[in-house]
């Protein structure tokens, strides 16, 4: 961690609350620039990055400074975009379910982004809305399934594209494909890209439409548990796409991979105890606040920094210090609330010390079960490039959401 990050964490802990998320916006920008420069250099500026808002909606207005498109998968995410003045032409309205009244509302307002098509039923509904409201030239992105509940099989996709082409209501923007997250096997990704090329060739041959745009979610792997610059997999995927780049423009979906590294979850030590010979540290947060893909019961330890009461980073300790092992547990009444198991502390921790969970910029603040036990929801803060702190959400009580008649 940098001195600036530690200083700001200390300031938030002192002035606002003890358990919170902090997103380093400058770090996010720097990471995006690294990725975009690699894409531009290796793929002749024919590939862009799409930010999936579900990863962290609080970053939306800051990502707007960088990304070309936002993947929006619900009415709520769309309204976040409108609240933050995201131009609709930057929105890919996605999601396996699209509420009919919401789609009708959006189209009546002159939506000029892209709408994905996930099924024949969804296509029929959108077509009927277009007909009723005399809306033409709607940009659609039919989604090809990978065998799960998302999108359509190949024959259905081709059929929908054929009907859309002949209807006069639609403009075929391209096709979309996503099969999963955190993928490591390049052979799988290579096979997916090869199959997408085959499907596009079939569409061209059977319908006479040239598909030259693919929105592809390769499932960029972000390593939470080992030291990594995260670029080896990214570069390998670029190399797989490279042979097709003169034929297609690629929009690469990314949420976790763009957002994870800029985030920190901060929790304070509130109690320490020993049961028999087992040492425990209790923090004021827990698994209802922080969530890492592929982790359970403290296994697969993420990167954690130990900050003492004087705001010194004592994670590594001093030369010659022996490590003491503690289980770090949260404040929930469940034995599964284990954040770290047998974590090695190189300076003896004390009540009031701070534990900083790194790479918490994606999914933690939205996917974790914050309503469980009606604990306080943590505050959310942005460390701005000018060094200032911006409060994005105050700490708030959740109990009123768990009882009748409260707002």
Cβ proximity of 389 and 266 under 8 Å? no
The confidence score (pLDDT) of residue 87 equals 95
Per CATH, domain 25-260 is 3.40.47.10: no
Q: Which residue ranges of the chain lie beneath pLDDT 70?
A: 296-298, 317-321, 406-407
Output the pTM of the full model. 0.93
Torsion-angle region of 363 (φ positive above 0: left; ψ -120 to 50: alpha; else: beta)? left
Beta bridge partners of 102: none
Nearest to 144 by CA among 113, 182, 178: 178
Assess contact for 141 and 92: CB atoms under 8 A: yes
Q: What's the CA gap between 269 and 279, in Å, rounded?
A: 13
Select from 115, 104, 60 the least CA-distant residue to 85. 60
Report the pLDDT value the prediction gives residue 365, as an integer from 0 to 100: 86
Select the CATH number that applies to the domain covering 3-22+261-402 from these four: 1.20.1740.10, 1.10.10.10, 1.10.240.10, 2.40.37.10.
2.40.37.10
- Give bridge partners of residue 71 from the DSSP assignment: 52, 92
SS (H, E, C) 334-369: CCCCEEEEEEEECCCCCCCCEEEEECCCCCHHHHCC
Question: Concatenated DSSP letters for 197-229?
Answer: HHHHHHHHHHH-----EEEEE------SSS---
Ranges of CATH 3.20.20.10 domains, the chain: 25-260
**Could you give the residue range(s) of every CATH 2.40.37.10 domain in the chain?**
3-22+261-402
- Tokens 């207005």 belong to which residue? 61
The residues facing 381 across adjacent strands are 22, 391
386 φ/ψ angles, rounded to the nearest 5 degrees: -85, 5
Contact yes or no for 7/340 (Cβ under 8 A): no
Q: What is the pLDDT of residues 268-285, one digit of tens each?
A: 999 999 999 999 999 999
User: DSSP of 262-313, one letter per residue?
Assistant: GEEEEEEEEEEEEETTEEEEEES--TTT---TT--TT-S---EEEE-TT--B
pLDDT at residue 204, as a whole number: 95
- 257: closest CA among 287, 218, 226? 218
Q: Is 345 exposed, middle or buried (0-12, 13-18, 19+ CB in 10 A)?
A: buried
pLDDT of residue 169: 87
Burial class (CB within 10 angstroms; exposed 0-12, middle 13-18, buried 19+) of 14: exposed
Whether residue 116 contacts residue 142, with contact meaning beta carbons closer than 8 Å, is answered with: yes
Q: Which residue has the tokens 């994870």?
A: 260
* DSSP letter for each residue of 140-190: EEEEEPSSSSSSB-HHHHHHHHHHHHHHSSEEE--EEEE--SS---HHHHH
* Tokens at 218, concatenated: 């390769």
DSSP state of 137: -
């Amino acid at each position: 961690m940098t001195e600036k990050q530690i200083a700001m964490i200390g300031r938030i802990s002192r002035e606002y609350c003890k358990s919170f998320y902090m997103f380093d916006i400058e770090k996010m920008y720097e990471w995006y620039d690294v990725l975009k420069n690699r894409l531009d250099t290796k793929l002749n500026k024919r590939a862009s990055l799409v930010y999936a808002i579900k990863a962290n909606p609080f970053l939306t207005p800051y990502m707007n400074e960088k990304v070309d498109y936002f993947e929006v998968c619900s009415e709520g995410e769309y309204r976040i975009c409108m609240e933050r003045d995201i131009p609709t032409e930057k929105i890919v309205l996605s999601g396996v379910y699209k509420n009919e009244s919401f789609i009708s509302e959006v189209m009546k307002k002159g939506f000029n982004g892209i709408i994905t098509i996930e099924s024949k039923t969804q296509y029929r509904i959108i077509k009927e809305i277009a007909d009723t409201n005399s809306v033409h030239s709607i940009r659609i992105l039919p989604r090809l399934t990978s065998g799960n509940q998302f999108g359509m099989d190949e024959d259905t996709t081709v059929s929908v594209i054929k009907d859309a082409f002949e209807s006069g209501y639609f403009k075929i923007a391209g096709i979309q494909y996503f099969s999963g997250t955190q993928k490591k096997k390049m052979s799988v990704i290579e096979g997916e890209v090869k199959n997408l090329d085959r499907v596009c060739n079939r569409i061209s041959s059977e319908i006479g439409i040239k598909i030259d745009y693919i929105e592809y979610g390769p499932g960029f792997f972000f390593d939470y548990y080992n030291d990594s610059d995260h670029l080896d997999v990214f570069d390998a995927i670029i190399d797989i796409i490279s042979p097709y780049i003169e034929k297609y423009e690629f929009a690469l979906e990314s949420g976790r991979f763009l957002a994870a590294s800029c985030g920190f979850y901060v929790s304070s030590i509130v109690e320490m105890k020993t049961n028999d010979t087992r040492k425990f540290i209790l923090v004021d947060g827990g698994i209802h606040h922080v969530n890492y893909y592929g982790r359970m019961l403290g296994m697969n330890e993420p990167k954690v920094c130990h900050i003492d009461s004087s705001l010194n980073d004592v994670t590594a300790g001093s030369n010659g210090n022996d490590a003491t092992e503690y289980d770090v547990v949260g404040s929930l009444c469940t034995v599964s609330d284990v954040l770290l198991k047998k974590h090695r502390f190189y300076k003896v921790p004390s009540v009031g010390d701070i534990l900083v969970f790194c790479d918490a910029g994606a999914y933690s603040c939205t996917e974790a079960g914050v309503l469980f036990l009606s604990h306080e929801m943590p505050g959310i803060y942005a460390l701005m490039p000018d060094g200032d702190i911006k409060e994005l959400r105050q700490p708030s009580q959740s109990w009123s959401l768990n009882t009748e008649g409260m707002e």
